[in-house]
Amino acid sequence: MSHTPHPRIADRKTSGAATVADELNGFNGWLAVKITNSVGTMWCAYAFAALALVSLPEAIKGGTAPLIAWIAQTFLQLVLLSIIMVGQKVAAAASDKQAFQTYKDAEALLDITDSMHKLLKANTELTEQIHKLVTEKEAA
């Protein structure tokens, strides 16, 4: 009985680990990533905060309701949007790193399993030879 490695082993060697970059689909995906990479920075969050602060004096003059509306609709939406995007980029990078590590671990396990199959085959062949020799000796 010969060992035939599973076809997925060869597939994995050519495909590599899946990453966020693999999910870009044409122009729309490319553009979305470019915009996300531009807007999803802390510098953009700081710029949005500065922009939002321009209208703060008017919101304060307007009283409680306009101030709360300014906080919810202007400041939080402008500033938190960029901060959340930064967090998502960090999480995506960590996810890519984890996927690559998992991929490498799986590769190692597949190699170990393939080596075990080869050792088991050799062990089986040697056991069969020993059995044959013992059987022949007993018959003689």
- Convert the pLDDT of each residue in 99-119 to its tens digit: 888 888 888 888 888 889 889
What confidence tens digit (pLDDT) does each residue in 55-101 have? 999 999 999 999 999 999 888 888 888 888 888 888 888 888 898 88
The domain ranges of the chain are 23-139
Claim: this prediction has a pTM higher than 0.75: no
Q: Which tokens sit at 102?
A: 């998992």
